[in-house]
Every structure is written in structure tokens, then in C-alpha cells.
Structure 1
Amino acid sequence: MAANDPLPTAEQLQDLLLESPGFTEFLLGLTAISASLLGGETPLLCAITVEREAGPATVASSTEAARALDERQYAYDDGPCLTALRQQHTVLIPDLQSDERWGWYARAVADEGIRTVLAVPIKSDNGSRSALNCYSTLAGTFDPGTVAAVEEHAASLSRILRLAMRVHPTDVYPEHLRSALQSRAIVDAAVSLIMVHNRCGREDAVRLLHLASRSSNRRLHDIAQDILKNTSDIPGIAPGGEINKKA
């Protein structure tokens, strides 16, 4: 886990749920926060897989690459994240290139440069199952301490995720609305990261995001994408209350 990055508090997670317009936006915020908190010197790709009545689907991922890594497994209806989700135990692949059980998966994602995978179940209920999936381009990233930190983080998400699944039914949208919803969800995820890093409310986080957009003359969506890719781009509040361009 990145140094000096504590787990989000229950109150912060509740605020995220209350202020997210839908389940997809809430989950995208959770994955963005997870990637930010768990990534150290080697950035992690994170995704949360939820299995409901309609079958497994990656509801949210910290990057499109993380989504693709999950979805490669759906084509085979097998893989480390689906195993963690369905059997409800941690699955660790220290080095994909030398792993015998998941050799087919290593070949399928060879072009992505992924070397190690960690999938941790998130306890849920109401007939649903979920898991937090972490990917790294560096073999050996998930040492025992890191595995324990990811498991602790996954456990901390259980209560709020179960509540979210009760509050929000399965998202079913016409295909033509999905791109618009995804764009809005990306901005919401960036706002969630700003809230956690600055320990501020949603209104202040939105104000910071708009200021970053105006000061750089770039679209909110583009600023939000940069924040999700690199947390050093998160705008922050200086001790005196002034707004910095970056934290």
C-alpha cells in the first residue's frame, strides 16, 4: 500500500455512496480509490467484479486496461478473478510467466505486460458475489505485507458494497446511453478521489475539479481521466485554504 495512505473511513465511503448518482458511478469511485491507496512505487490496475443474476460483469475498473484484463477471463468463464469471486478465497499469481495453472491466461494477456495478479473476494449477500482484482506489470509486487493490505482493504469495502447493492438495482441501460454514463462516471470517480485525498466534501471537490479545468483550459472529462491515471494530478487545498493546481 502506498505510504501514508490510510484506508478510507466508513463515513467517507458512506458519503461516496450517497453522492454517487448510480451503482456504476459508485463502483468506479471505489476502484479509483483502491488503485490510488494500494499502489506504491509500482502503480496497480484495479477492478471490482460483481456477479449478480445476469452473470459476472466488471462493473468498474480504474482503467480500461483493467477492464480488459477482467473481461479476457469471461470469454473462458474461468480465471483468477472469477475463481476468487466464486470460491471466495484469495488467488495470488506471483509470476504469470512461470505459472502452470493459469498459463492460458498469461498467453491471453501477454500483450498487456501484466506479470502478477491478486484477486481478493469481497464479502457480499443477497445472492451476489464480488471480488477486488489487482494487476501489476512487475513480478513479485504482491509480497505478504501487500497481500494482507489488499485483503484488509477488500474487507473494509464489504459493508458499503452490500449496502450499495441493496440501494441500487442492477444497472440496465440502452446501449446508446452507456458511453454518456461512462463519461459521467469518470468525472464522478475523479471527484471521489479529490474528496478522499483532501478530506473535503463533494461541493469543494467539484469546485477544485472545475478550477483545474479552467486553469488549464481543458475539458472536465480530460482532467478527470488524468486524475484516474495519475494521482499526482489531483488538485489540492493548501493549509491556508488556497487552492493548489496539484496536491
Structure 2
Amino acid sequence: MEEQPATELGQRLVKALGDAARGLSARSSGGPEQVLELIVAGAVQTVPGAEQAGVLLLARDGTVTSHAPSDEMVARIDRLQAQHQQGPCVTALWEQHTVTVDDLAGETTRWPVFAPEALASGVVSTLSFQLFTSEDTLGALNLYSGRRAGFDERSQMLGSLFASHAAQALGRAQETEQLHQALLTRDVIGQAKGILMERFGLGDDAAFAMLVRSSQDTNVKLVDVARWLTTEGKSRHEPPDPAISTATT
């Protein structure tokens, strides 16, 4: 195949990336999981050589989880990576750089669980990118091919650009979800305070102090105490919990 001029290749890459970015931006109003599904679908459509894809996320506590696999095969081998903490995507997570594998047959010593299972499933080469970094989460996008050396320089260039845009879309979705959860938490605590203010004739600060005391005495998160009070406790005539009934003593 005749090599394309650099300017022509650059124009094609920019167009492909623009199309993918517009697709993500237009549909990233959903939650993080929906955005991850869009990222995976977009990567398969955009990155040359990519036949299947998936995402691994690493939480601050060290837990690795598989998200938005393009099919059941990807789900299975991504779970293996997460469970055994080995494979190209896990390496990309921990070392925070792009990992290219031309032939998994040569990686059975490096990844003794993942490599044989991936080969048996028809995966021969992989390409993994760091996807997203925040205070709590690190992610990597994993692309799979059934061909040896299925990813070339164009794949690495376009995949890296795509992963950068995808990370921004994921970050926005996570921020939106966190804001939504914060608002829900504020609302449920406000409702719980209102119940206590009405039931005990308290002011706002005293009602909040009751919630805090109940949370401490029962070793239950404040928002969970408030949620219990607004769902079960508000329909009762007696105080919803001994800790609440004694919080003012």
C-alpha cells in the first residue's frame, strides 16, 4: 500500500477525530457509564485496526473494574485483567502510558493468565491508552485486534488523540454526576431536618445536630440516616431511632 503524504494523513486524522469528538459531545449528557459506552463504540469506529474495545477504571482503593465492553469476549478478558492485575490495560493504568502489543503469543511469561486466555479468544494484538486521571479515578482504554501487529502508527496517533477527547467527555460526565449526587444529598438532608424541626419543634441548627449525633452514635453515614428518616421514619409517630430521640438530651 502506497504511503500517504503527511499532510493528507493529517487531514484524515483531524477529520476522523473531529467526527468522533462531535459524537461524544453531542451525546455526553448522560451519566459516566453511558459516556464510557460511547467512548468504546467511537474508538472501534475511529481507530484503525480496532475490532473490539473496553475500559478499565482503577479506584483510589486499588479496585479495578471493567466497563462498557464491546462484547462478552472483551468483558471476560477484561475481568481477568482486573481480577489478576495483569495485562496491557492494567499496565497502562499503573504506568500511565500507551502500551502496544503486536503479538500476545510473546507475552505469556509477562501476563501468564491474560495472554493465553486472550489468544484463545481470538485476540492477537492490543493497544491501550491512559484514559482519565482525577483525584479518585484512573482509567485506560483497551483496543483489541485479531491480527498480528493490528495497530500501526496511525492507530497510535489517532487513538491517543481520541483518548484525550474521550477523557474530557468522561470527566464532564463524572463532574455532572457528582454535582447531581451532591444536590440530592443536600435535598434529602434538608427534608430530614424539616421532619425533625416539625416533630420536635427545633430550629435548623439543632435539627442538623440531631442528625449528626445520630450518625455518630449509629456509625451510619449522615446521608443514610437522613434518607432512612425521609423514607421510613416520616410515616411513624414515634422518633425514628433511639439515637435521634436522645440527641437533645
> Shared fold by TM > 0.5?
yes
What TM-score does the superposition give when structure 1 sets the normalisation length?
Answer: 0.59
Paired AA for residue 72 in structure 1: L
Paired AA for residue 75 in structure 2: R
What TM-score does the superposition give when structure 2 sets the normalisation length?
Answer: 0.59
Q: 2:79: which partner in 1? A: 71
**Measured at CA, do residues 9 and 33 of structure 1 come closer, stay the same or move farther in structure 2, by a change above 3 Å?**
closer
Displacement of 1:82: 1.0
Q: 2:55: which partner in 1? A: 48
Q: 2:141: which partner in 1? A: 132
Displacement of 1:157: 1.3
Contact 1:47 1:61 in 2 (8 A): yes
Alignment gaps of 5+ in structure 1 = 170-247
Contact 2:37 2:68 in 1 (8 A): yes
Paired AA for residue 46 in structure 1: A
Q: Which has the higher contact order (CA 8 A, sep 6+)?
A: 1
Q: Which has the higher helix share?
A: 2
Q: What is the aligned counterpart of 2:157 among 124, 145, 148?
A: 148
Paired AA for residue 45 in structure 1: Q
Contact 1:94 1:117 in 2 (8 A): yes
- In the TM superposition, 1:135-214 aligns within 5 A as 135-169=144-178
Distance in 2, matches of 1:140 and 1:129, equals 27
What are the Cα deviations for residues 11-51 of structure 1, in whole angstroms up to 9, with x where unaligned?
A: 54232111x3x3222211221121112245xx511112222
Q: 1:107: which partner in 2? A: 116
**Measured at CA, do residues 10 and 94 of structure 1 come closer, stay the same or move farther in structure 2, by a change above 3 Å?**
closer
Contact 1:97 1:103 in 2 (8 A): no
Higher CA-based Rg: 2
**Measured at CA, do residues 60 and 113 of structure 1 come closer, stay the same or move farther in structure 2, by a change above 3 Å?**
same
Q: 1:26: which partner in 2? A: 35
Paired AA for residue 64 in structure 1: E
What are the Cα deviations for residues 134-170 of structure 1, in whole angstroms up to 9, with x where unaligned?
A: 011100111222212211211121211111122225x
Matched residues, percent identical? 24
Distance in 1, matches of 2:165 and 2:57, equals 16
Q: What is the aligned counterpart of 2:90 among 57, 82, 100?
A: 82
Task: Give 3-state SS (helix, strand or coil) of 1:109's partner.
Answer: helix
Displacement of 1:103: 4.3
Structure 1 stretches of 4+ with a deviation exceeding 3 A read 8-12
Paired AA for residue 23 in structure 1: P
Contact 1:96 1:103 in 2 (8 A): no
Contact 2:87 2:111 in 1 (8 A): yes
Alignment gaps of 5+ in structure 2 = 1-8, 179-249
Q: How many residues align?
A: 164
